[in-house]
Amino acid sequence: AQSVTQLDSHVSVSEGTPVLLRCNYSSSYSPSLFWYVQHPNKGLQLLLKYTSAATLVKGINGFEAEFKKSETSFHLTKPSAHMSDAAEYFCVVSDLGGNQFYFGTGTSLTVIP
């Protein structure tokens, strides 16, 4: 069975400092992994995805994530936080057929000016 665990429900950073949002996954095969962002009262938007190509994945708005099979992790990072990054972030794993998606519980990112 597939699942993801987001290790922090809330993360607070100062503007201009690095962002780290942690995600561990569980999968019985090589997974497809995604990070989505949700701004208040909006739908979710894809930040980046890993589908067994390069282990370091670059996404939109300066975000990137590294797939580490040995640690079963897919942490999201950004070198310098911007006020507009304040949002809810979801780590997601899909099943083998790509038909069903399993969402983490989300990490709320606060950016302090």
Token pair for 113: 């000016």
CA Rg, the chain, in Å?
13
Tell me the window of 14-22, 56-64, 76-84, 92-100 that interacts with another protein (CB under 8 A): 92-100
Residue 60 has φ and ψ, to the nearest 5°, of: -80, 160
Tell me the window of 14-22, 44-52, 59-67, 73-81 that interacts with another protein (CB under 8 A): 44-52
The three-class DSSP label of residue 13 is strand
Q: Is 106 in the site for another protein (CB under 8 A)?
A: yes
Segment 24 to 43, residues that bind another protein, using CB under 8 A? 32, 34, 36, 41-43
Paired sense of beta strands 23-26 and 64-68, if any: unpaired
Q: How far is the CB of 64 from another protein (least distance, A)?
A: 17
For another protein, the closer CB: 20 or 46: 46
Residue 51 has φ and ψ, to the nearest 5°, of: -135, 50
The partner residues of 112 in beta bridges, in order of sequence, read 14
What is the amino acid identity at position 5? T
Q: How far is the CB of 7 from another protein (least distance, A)?
A: 15
Binding site for another protein (CB under 8 A): 32, 34, 36, 41-46, 49, 51, 90, 92, 94, 98-103, 105-106
